Amino acid sequence: MGINEKPSQLKPADYASDQEVRWCPGCGDYAILNAVRKTLADNQSDTKNTVFVSGIGCASRLPYYMATYGFHTIHGRAPAFATGIKITNPELDVWIITGDGDSLSIGGNHFIHVLRRNLNCQILLFNNEIYGLTKGQASPTSRTGTVSPTTLNGSVESPVSACELALSSGATFVARGVDTAIKQLVPTLSEAQKHIGTSLVEIYQNCIVYNDDVFKSFTDKSVAIEKQIHLEDGKPMLFGEDNSKGLAINSNYSALETVDLSKNQEHITRVLIHDIKNKTIAYLLSQMDQSTMPVALGIIYRIKKPTLDSNYINKLKTHKNNLSKIMKKGQTWTI
Amino acid sequence: MGINEKPSQLKPADYASDQEVRWCPGCGDYAILNAVRKTLADNQSDTKNTVFVSGIGCASRLPYYMATYGFHTIHGRAPAFATGIKITNPELDVWIITGDGDSLSIGGNHFIHVLRRNLNCQILLFNNEIYGLTKGQASPTSRTGTVSPTTLNGSVESPVSACELALSSGATFVARGVDTAIKQLVPTLSEAQKHIGTSLVEIYQNCIVYNDDVFKSFTDKSVAIEKQIHLEDGKPMLFGEDNSKGLAINSNYSALETVDLSKNQEHITRVLIHDIKNKTIAYLLSQMDQSTMPVALGIIYRIKKPTLDSNYINKLKTHKNNLSKIMKKGQTWTI
Amino acid sequence: MDGSPSKINNNIEEDWSTTVRFAGDSGDGMQLTGGRLTFEAAITGMGLATFPDYPAEIRAPAGTTYGVSSFQVRFGEGLIASSGDHADILVAMNPAALKVNIKEVIPGGLIIIDSSSFSDRGIKKAGYKDNPLENNSLAGLQLISADISHLTLEAIKEFGLGKKDGLRCRNMWALGLILWLFSKSTKETIKWLENKFGKDNVLTKANVAALNAGHHHAEITEISEDILRKVIPNVKPVPGKWRAITGAESLAFGLATGANKAKLNMTLCSYPITPASPIMHYLANYELEGINIYQAEDEIAACCAAIGVSYAGGLGVTSSSGPGISLKAEAIGLAVSIELPLIIINSQRAGPSTGLPTRAEQSDLMQAVYGRHGEAPLVVLAPKSPSHCFEIAQKAILIAIKYMTPVMILSDAYLTNASEPWLIPNLSKIKEFPVSFGKTQENFMPFERDSNTLARKWVIPGTKGMEHRIGGLEKDSLTGNISYDPENHAKITALRYQKIQNVKKELNDIIITGPKKGEILIIGWGSTNGPISEAQNTLSKNGMKIAHIQLSCLWPLTENLKTIASQFKHVVVVEMNNGQLVNLLKVDITPNAKSITQVSGKPFRVLDLIAKFTAIKQLGK
Amino acid sequence: MDGSPSKINNNIEEDWSTTVRFAGDSGDGMQLTGGRLTFEAAITGMGLATFPDYPAEIRAPAGTTYGVSSFQVRFGEGLIASSGDHADILVAMNPAALKVNIKEVIPGGLIIIDSSSFSDRGIKKAGYKDNPLENNSLAGLQLISADISHLTLEAIKEFGLGKKDGLRCRNMWALGLILWLFSKSTKETIKWLENKFGKDNVLTKANVAALNAGHHHAEITEISEDILRKVIPNVKPVPGKWRAITGAESLAFGLATGANKAKLNMTLCSYPITPASPIMHYLANYELEGINIYQAEDEIAACCAAIGVSYAGGLGVTSSSGPGISLKAEAIGLAVSIELPLIIINSQRAGPSTGLPTRAEQSDLMQAVYGRHGEAPLVVLAPKSPSHCFEIAQKAILIAIKYMTPVMILSDAYLTNASEPWLIPNLSKIKEFPVSFGKTQENFMPFERDSNTLARKWVIPGTKGMEHRIGGLEKDSLTGNISYDPENHAKITALRYQKIQNVKKELNDIIITGPKKGEILIIGWGSTNGPISEAQNTLSKNGMKIAHIQLSCLWPLTENLKTIASQFKHVVVVEMNNGQLVNLLKVDITPNAKSITQVSGKPFRVLDLIAKFTAIKQLGK
Ligand SMILES: Cc1ncc(C[n+]2csc(CCOP(=O)(O)OP(=O)(O)O)c2C)c(N)n1
Ligand SMILES: Cc1ncc(C[n+]2csc(CCOP(=O)(O)OP(=O)(O)O)c2C)c(N)n1
Ligand code: SF4
Ligand code: SF4
Ligand SMILES: [Mg+2]
Ligand SMILES: [Mg+2]
């Protein structure tokens, strides 16, 4: 935006920079970029106070495409840069853009610690379950059996769940979205932006080149309604055609299970009411097996906790500090 | 041990190297060292096939004191070295020795990933909730409010729970012990050694110099019985004088609570039976608030899963590989 | 960059060579087409060199300049060491490909384009204001403009491929035309297609039809005499079985061979990064017994795991590029301190920080030599060509295990991807150098040293009675126990230094091309070998007393270099950085060395080097 | 190390100085006792230098040699720049302390011991075979053997402290004795004790009693004339308010002052490591507004956070030692590439890898200059004394913000802990250099440069209409947008290089001590200033034409050094490594420089330097 223009109402397009967007045609990143721009427009974010900080990877190119401040840093370390930024200027609205490799492989440590410290920022984790930019190697979220240039006979490792890891790191906001359900993603991002603390949003994103259709089993239009559950705080966990199915906890509390209300209406009593503050249920929601259960989308968990940056606000006031006095503290002598 | 001696039965002292042990007098590390030596003796471990790998910190000095192979590496990276060792020689019995700073601050990423990959080794995490070797700064396990040279007004960050983080990383064996309860620690270490996969044992350890008595609220002899619960698979979760208390899940599954059987015997039906395979309960056990609840000790969680190193066993056989043939694969021409 | 190419060209007698560049969208199959022409030249026994150039984006939108992928191949008689400064022939599949590559074509060169791609939309997408075919911008060049799209679709219509798939055969049409230009039949390529897709596959049939159509089309096109004379002659080099090899493949083969010869299991522990990943991919792909890969969570873990591999008695190898190598610094320092073998491969890319990941540079040399805290010396080697990678990898392994030390191999983005013909070696003829691990003995001292090499013994866990502890704290120079003694620290620091200096004994291979005495001695290293050799070759033929050394061991530096250099009036160090080797050499070896550098992410041009060497001879600068 | 100390000593006329070393268990309060004597000397206005030496273990078992903690202080008239090669007086609280330190005592020196600690058990624990007091091993030394434990407990028995607490007062007893030796009263120390514990506190009373008891004891002890003459004279230096300062405190004060003068908030982002942590501890302790610390999860995060601080408009500082600095390499490269201010402090410790964490070395210089991938130049400064740290920190900040560049400060373990008297500056007299951030403007180009410095503008988030993107990929030299253009890469690489070269303009401070022309020019850097200055001082007085430069800017190197150096027959570079600065200087500046190095983790001894300089003068080597 030019320096003199002041549009009364910013539109999503006003958040687009002049740089050509350079992802593969058909990449899920485009839809997410649009959702981000729309979220900023919905909240009328001020471009001058918004900073997108990213690591390295396809997803991490996003800051170049925003008409805000942007910092494309190094692989895996975006949360550390964001921390420096926020403790220096807590007023800035900081968005961390990262991929599954960036945040959970090389950047795993910073991911844990930024959540633990509850820095007031948003983390959008574009999870395509693969390393896109480096041409398709398996990532920590790749499923066991994934065939890639480094796992020719199928990966033997177990994938990590971003949401589960975030919860154990002390996250105060954990949500999930998907590139094919932008209508639901925008309000989730909006809530993330408003949350005071670190907001983690894991976004399933299709990499058309190296991991095409990996989320098809729940994003395909024909199955979406049966395979996705959109969570709402205080509402029963219902999904499926006519909300005919619900989620309940199993008898030994080890997992969630589906109850079919169309077979027996009375099962409704077993259906859990989504309590956004319940960490146990949040764990179970983020652990659900995609092959047998729906995928939980929306805000899984949210609590309030002091933020790291709030501690720095008071300390950033003035340069009239009493350095001179401190230098003279302790033993001195005069000659 | 000399190269010719072959004691029929190794005693704990046979696992001691000739190096003088150099921790502060009164440090909890001494007791843990003894427990480790005793465990090896109990299992008649072969010194030549045993490797202790450590990072940097007071705890990480332990390998020098063992009459086995030992590798004191660099700060936070012991799991990565251990991985290289195990995929090269899966026969070796590898013990990772680490501190809370070593494993959860700088080494957090490797901690997550070794657990995710389920490398067949033991991790003994000496948690004194402080940086010992560097003279007492707050660590990621330090409680909010901890006063240290870098947190003079009390730490503002929330501590991370090693066991909870391990569970979310895909750990297959999670246990806890304490330096003051060596009798219970030895069998736990023994189980850890036998487990096929990564065995995490978090050991609360008193740093007499920089964080003295931080665990006193549950280790003090006068309260130990009321403030510790020693878990046993398949047994009800009972603790306290005459096992008069039990653990039950609360009504919305968000936490465990204490039921007092001395007041009402019938509450026994609510007391959970420890199911070592139940991750939800494992999470709840590792999250228990020390101020109101007992501390869970013993094996919290254990499941079977393929190990990373087992994949390398078959690949390590011979040097008669068909390299020559592969070089000639594809397009060649003869002149 | 003074001296216009054509002018200099005319003054110099050269062996015949020609350079062809294919350019198009990433999806146009240009790498493959270039590879085919490379093969056709190779089987005639010609010298050749290639330069593949990929777009930085994974898959940029079609028709954009930043999505252009190109492959240049140069072949000819005599020494062909560089891939050519300029293209004689450019195949441009769309306007963007023309735009990006037009400046690489020599005056009078030939351009072949697909006219159907020069639509208004295509022209605009490439960022042209108006049609370059019509605005005189191709003046002085020859042009073959054919509606390749249409002609291809026509040729293959009987096979019923859709339009999208059909257009995928355009590259074969273009290749057919090119083959005709060089008087080659389509026979070998047809064989290859049949091999690739199966004889009866519709894709084979369509591609063959397109190939033949292009070949026939050439016959009826009017082409200047100048181009027609470029018949590929048959030159016969060393007889044997040959193949094309890239630097990455060659390193992978070299590592595997070295590990086999040392009788070690080997594991490459790595984390993906451009342009280093192919080495890991190749090794994964070979699936050799005893040769493994391990993809770690980051570069630090990869390096530590590799050290763990060596600690346990395997050969630990770790491979990365700039950002990853920087991250490994601390772990490499540990390997130096505990004295275990370790191979570190740096496929250098351009620029500081993320820089230009797909481009080559040689700016990590100082880092290789000095980029760790403390006095932490190690050995630095650099291969000079794709096939040389094979030798260097083996040499690195030999040194690493003989001297119990990390060895860094400096490759670069260019070497990684460039290919050259390679006489497949008879592995059984390569000498074995089996490791002997330390065995059970009395009074074992972990840091006792071989008096000749100063290497300590490699004693691995599992060895009975030899249990011992090592670590990064300073250690007693014999027992390895922690030692804070100042004199011990001074002593072991000196031992570690001297051990690396001793590696000079392995370096009996300073090869000097040209006179032993004369006007100019050029010293280069790594992938600059091609252009330097050609420039030197050309200038020698013109009578200049010019010699060339392409150093393959950059640390330790051999002292006899000083004696050699003293025989020349000028010593000139050529490198793709701001002057790093020259600074190493100025210390005690050639204090007055001159420096020629280029930091553009592109290989040197032979003509630029010729101009600069000539200037140094004439003006002394 | 040729030339026995006493021999050389006799040949040289020196100003009076004396060196006292206190040694005991970590728990014996030796650092504190040494600090007190330092203060007593300081308030008389003497020159002084200290050398604290801690055990590597946190708290080693009592009585062991590896648990010995010592503190050496040297004071006297004239230039006192080094803490002394040898001790004139050694206070050894137990046999282990004697064993570790006995070799530091000069022939004829005085040893004071607590006889009660020389029990069989104590002697054995120290690793002595038999009693050193009885086996003639102290021949040629003077000995004061007193039952300090007993005498102390006697002196304080009225205060009812337990034996353990009571014995804690032994150090005050010893201090009392030492004060008497130097004809000082116990007055100042009593004041200090009262201040510390409160006037009526029982600890105050007990310590005062012990102090006085030691003082009185000295009166009745027979002490040689030689020692008694060491009365502390009163020398008057610059008038004003003085204090003692360590390098770590001085750096902390300098950073805070610089940030204030630049009108910036500052955050030190760091991760604990020996010996760097004190800087973070001090800054935390000061609790200054606008000056913060952030303890990150590791050194990489610390460096990245510091860059984030600068990005957002604060002053980002990160501080570490070897292993941590190695880890920061990648992030530092990004800071070079995006051109933001950043201060990196390396408190160098000895050895590669974990090495000797509590010992000093200067072996990270090459890493500072070259330890990143790519051409990634930055500025390297080195303070030469504790008080100089204060100046250097400010200079680093000035350069970092004026040139938009990372600046590395090379301190070391010795500077960190050593203290010296410091005239507390009047802060209001120090010039301000407030940053002017880029303001809202038309046609803003993030990488447009100041034509003088070549610095780009610092435009921070929050600035209206100036939204822009930066990153580590190569960028257009004006717009900062990603650019793969080869010429642009060459251009911006040259700009980054030239910008750092321009910093030479700030370096008008090559201070040369001694003649401008002569036999020997010594070049040193960092904490070697003390011993070099003294050696030079001594040799000049003896008539040698010897000059000395202690370089404080190690990169870029100022060219006039070449002219200066050309005026001397020999140029000798002195450093605590294997020869790093000398290698930088041999390139184009002083190709024939000689090198004196020491890598023992200990400071140079003046006498060794004198011997070596003399040899160079006489034998040319
Ligand atoms: C230190 C370092 N190591 C490795 C790389 C190479 N690299 C760039 S992006 C990437 C991973 C990309 O995967 P992800 O984070 O999932 O992002 P995506 O491309 O899939 O969006 C890697 C390994 C790098 N740039 N820097
Ligand atoms: C790369 C690196 N950074 C920092 C250090 C300094 N350091 C050594 S141990 C340690 C932390 C020790 O804490 P912890 O792991 O909890 O072990 P403890 O001493 O408490 O047993 C640190 C920060 C180092 N040695 N290397
Ligand atoms: S490689 Fe995958 S993630 Fe990257 S831009 Fe292409 S489709 Fe998107
Ligand atoms: S500092 Fe603490 S943890 Fe370290 S040895 Fe001493 S008591 Fe133990
Ligand atoms: Mg990804
Ligand atoms: Mg700890």
| Residue D171 half-sphere exposure toward CB, CA atoms < 13 A | 24
Determine the Cα–Cα distance for residues C242 and C251; give it in Å rounded to an integer.
Answer: 17
Q: Is A298 in the pocket of ligand 3 (CB under 6 A)?
A: no
What pLDDT does D13 receive? 37
Q: Which residues contact D279 (CB under 8 A, 6 or more apart)?
A: D248, D251, D252, D255, D268, D270, D319, D345, D347, D416
Residue B332 in any domain: the answer is no
Instruction: Give the ligand 1 atom nearest the CA of A210.
Output: 20
Determine the Cα–Cα distance for residues B119 and D231; give it in Å rounded to an integer.
Answer: 68
Neighbours of C508 (CB within 10 A): 8
Is residue B16 less than 8 Å (CB to CB) from chain C? no
What pLDDT does C145 receive? 87
What pLDDT does C236 receive? 58
Q: What is the mean pLDDT of residues C302-312?
A: 98
Q: Between chains, do D374 and C361 touch, taking CB under 8 Å as contact?
A: yes
pLDDT digits (tens, 9 = 90+) for C22-57: 999 988 999 999 988 888 888 877 778 888 888 877
Q: Which of A53-57, D46-50, D153-157, D433-437 has the least mean pLDDT? A: D46-50
The domain tally of chain A equals 1
CB pairs under 8 A between B and C: 215
Q: Look at D446 and C16; give whichever has higher pLDDT.
A: D446
Q: Which residues contact D377 (CB under 8 A, 6 or more apart)?
A: D336, D496, D497, D500, D555, D556
Reduced DSSP (H G I as helix, E B as strand, rest coil) percent helix, strand, coil of chain D, to 5: 40, 20, 35
3-state secondary structure chain B: CCCCCCCCCCCHHHHECCCCCCCCCCCCHHHHHHHHHHHHHHCCCCHHHEEEEECCCCHHHHHHHECCEEEECCCCCHHHHHHHHHHHCCCCEEEEEEEHHHHHHHCHHHHHHHHHHCCCEEEEEEECCCCCCCCCCCCCCCCCCCCECCECCCCCCCCCCHHHHHHHCCCCEEEEEECCCHHHHHHHHHHHHHCCCEEEEEEECCCCCCCCCCCHHHHCHHHHHHHEEECCCCCECEECHHHCEEEEECCCCCCEEEEECCCCHHHHHHCCECCCCCHHHHHHHHHCCCCCCCEEEEEEEECCCCCCCHHHHHHHCCCCCCHHHHHCCCCEEEC
What pLDDT does D498 receive? 98
Between the CA of residue C240 and those of B270, B324, C36, C422, D149, what are the distances in Å? 81, 14, 20, 10, 88
**Percent residues over pLDDT 70 in chain A:** 96
Residue C593 token pair: 């060395």
C448 pLDDT more than 90: yes
Determine the Cα–Cα distance for residues A310 and A85; give it in Å rounded to an integer.
Answer: 13
φ and ψ at residue B148, rounded to 5 degrees: -150, 175
Pair D200, D306 in one domain: no
Cα dihedral C149, C151, C155, C161, rounded to 10, equals: 20
Selected for mutation to probe chain C from A20, A22, A160 (highest C CB count within 10 Å) is A22
Q: Which residue of D has its CA nearest to A60?
A: D471
Q: Between chains, do A165 and B161 touch, taking CB under 8 Å as contact?
A: no
Pair C205, C279 in one domain: no
Q: Is B214 in the pocket of ligand 4 (CB under 6 A)?
A: no
Sheet strands side by side (includes C315-320)? C291-295, C266-270, C315-320, C342-348, C406-412, C379-381, C553-555
Residue C303 token pair: 């390096």
Q: Is B21 in the pocket of ligand 4 (CB under 6 A)?
A: no
DSSP letter at C88 equals E
Between the CA of residue B71 and those of B63, B128, D298, what are the distances in Å? 7, 22, 22
φ and ψ at residue D132, rounded to 5 degrees: -65, -20
Cα-atom radius of gyration of chain C, to the nearest Å?
26
Q: Is B23 in the pocket of ligand 4 (CB under 6 A)?
A: yes
Q: What is the mean pLDDT of residues D241-262?
A: 94
Is residue B121 less than 8 Å (CB to CB) from chain D? no
> Touching C: which chains, 3+ CB pairs < 8 A?
A, B, D
Helices D486-502/D386-403 angle, 10° precision: 140
Between the CA of residue A72 and those of A59, A224, D469, D471, D481, what are the distances in Å? 11, 34, 8, 4, 11
Pair D282, D170 in one domain: no
Residue C299 token pair: 């570069």
If 0-12 CB within 10 Å is exposed, 13-18 middle and 19+ buried, where does residue D485 land?
Answer: middle
φ and ψ at residue D242, rounded to 5 degrees: -115, 160
**Percent residues over pLDDT 90 in chain D:** 67
Q: Which residue of B has its CA nearest to A107?
A: B109
> Touching B: which chains, 3+ CB pairs < 8 A?
A, C, D
Residue B287 in any domain: the answer is no
Domain limits for position B190: 12-229+295-313
User: Is C386:C357 a contact under the CB 8 Å cutoff?
Assistant: no
Residue A208 token pair: 């058309």
The domain tally of chain C equals 3
A328 pLDDT more than 80: yes
User: Is C337:C472 a contact under the CB 8 Å cutoff?
Assistant: yes
φ and ψ at residue A315, rounded to 5 degrees: -85, 0
Q: What is the CATH number of the domain that holds D67?
A: 3.40.920.10
Of D58, D274, D323, the CB nearest to B24: D58
Pair C307, C261 in one domain: yes
**Residue where a domain stops, chosen among C394, C429, C464:** C429
Pair C222, C185 in one domain: yes
C-alpha of D412 from chain center: 6
Determine the Cα–Cα distance for residues B6 and B48; give it in Å rounded to an integer.
Answer: 12
**Residue where a domain stops, chosen among C230, C255, C278:** C230
Q: Is B208 in the pocket of ligand 4 (CB under 6 A)?
A: yes
Which residues 333-392 on chain C approach chain B with CB closer than 8 angstroms? 334
The residue written with tokens 């913060």 in the block is D292
Chain B residues with CB inside 8 Å of D60's CB?
Answer: 22, 24
Q: What is the mean pLDDT of residues B115-136?
A: 97
Q: Between chains, do A327 and D243 touch, taking CB under 8 Å as contact?
A: yes
pLDDT digits (tens, 9 = 90+) for A290-300: 999 999 999 99
Neighbours of D114 (CB within 10 A): 28
Dihedral sign (CA D508, D513, D519, D523): negative
Determine the Cα–Cα distance for residues D283 and A54; give it in Å rounded to an integer.
Answer: 30
Q: Between chains, do D588 and C586 touch, taking CB under 8 Å as contact?
A: yes
The residue written with tokens 């004809």 in the block is D183
Q: Look at A226 and B1; give whichever has higher pLDDT.
A: A226
Pair C220, C280 in one domain: no
* N-terminal to C-terminal alpha carbon distance within chain C: 14
What pLDDT does D45 receive? 74
Residue A224 in any domain: the answer is yes
Sheet strands side by side (includes D68-76)? D47-53, D68-76, D17-25, D87-92, D105-114, D142-146
Protein residue whose Cα sits closest to atom 9 of ligand 2? B57
Is residue B144 less than 8 Å (CB to CB) from chain C? no
| Residue D602 half-sphere exposure toward CB, CA atoms < 13 A | 17
Pair D224, D250 in one domain: no
What pLDDT does A76 receive? 98
Rounded to the nearest angstrom, the distance between the alpha carbon of D152 and the centre of ligand 4 is: 30
What pLDDT does A1 receive? 45
What pLDDT does A316 receive? 65
What pLDDT does D1 receive? 32
Q: What is the CATH number of the domain that holds A158?
A: 3.40.50.970
Residues C159-175 as b or e (16 or more Cβ within 10 Å = b): bebeeeebbbbbbbbbb
Coil vs helix vs strand at C457: coil
Q: What is the CATH number of the domain that holds D370?
A: 3.40.50.970
Which residues 296-325 on chain D approach chain A with CB closer than 8 angstroms? 296-298, 300-302, 304-314, 316
Residue C440 in any domain: the answer is no
Q: How far is B46 from chain C (nearest CA, A)?
A: 9
pLDDT digits (tens, 9 = 90+) for D207-246: 999 999 998 888 776 565 555 545 455 555 678 898 889 9
Full DSSP string of C368-431? HHH-SSSS---EEE--SSHHHHHHHHHHHHHHHHHHT-EEEEEEEHHHHH-EEEEE---GGGSP
Pair D225, D368 in one domain: no
Q: What is the mean pLDDT of chain C?
A: 90
**Percent residues over pLDDT 90 in chain C:** 68
Pair C220, C352 in one domain: no
pLDDT category of residue C6 using cuts at 50, 70 and 90: very low
C270: β partners: C295, C319
B308: β partners: none
Residue C3 in any domain: the answer is no
Protein residue whose Cα sits closest to atom 6 of ligand 3? A24
pLDDT digits (tens, 9 = 90+) for B160-175: 999 999 999 999 999 9
Phi-psi region of B92 (alpha: psi -120 to 50; beta: other; left: phi over 0): beta
Domain limits for position C330: 243-429
**Residue where a domain stops, chosen among C429, C450, C474:** C429
Residue A190 in any domain: the answer is yes
User: Is C471:B56 a contact under the CB 8 Å cutoff?
Assistant: no
Counted residue by residue, chain B has a size of 335
Pair D226, D268 in one domain: no
What pLDDT does C450 receive? 97
Q: What is the CATH number of the domain that holds D581?
A: 3.40.50.920
pLDDT digits (tens, 9 = 90+) for D398-408: 999 999 999 99
Q: Is A129 in the pocket of ligand 3 (CB under 6 A)?
A: no
Nearest to C424 by CA among C581, C572, C238, C570: C238
Q: What is the mean pLDDT of residues D258-271?
A: 96
Is residue A298 less than 8 Å (CB to CB) from chain C? no
Rounded to the nearest angstrom, the distance between the alpha carbon of D27 and the centre of ligand 4 is: 15
- Write down the pTM of the prediction: 0.91
If 0-12 CB within 10 Å is exposed, 13-18 middle and 19+ buried, where does residue D433 land?
Answer: middle
Dihedral sign (CA A308, A314, A319, A324): negative
Determine the Cα–Cα distance for residues C515 and C543; give it in Å rounded to an integer.
Answer: 11
| Cis-peptide into D275, omega within 30 deg | yes
Pair C254, C330 in one domain: yes
Q: Is B206 in the pocket of ligand 4 (CB under 6 A)?
A: no
Dihedral sign (CA D477, D481, D482, D484): negative
> How much is the ipTM here?
0.93
User: Is A114:A79 a contact under the CB 8 Å cutoff?
Assistant: yes
Residue D471 in any domain: the answer is no
Q: What is the mean pLDDT of chain B?
A: 94
Of C367, C472, C497, the CB nearest to D371: C367
Chain C residues with CB inside 8 Å of B319's CB?
Answer: 259-260, 263-265, 289-290
Residue A319 in any domain: the answer is no
Q: Between chains, do A106 and C299 touch, taking CB under 8 Å as contact?
A: yes
Q: Which of A154-163, B159-168, D501-510 has the least mean pLDDT? A: D501-510
Pair D251, D355 in one domain: yes
> Touching A: which chains, 3+ CB pairs < 8 A?
B, C, D
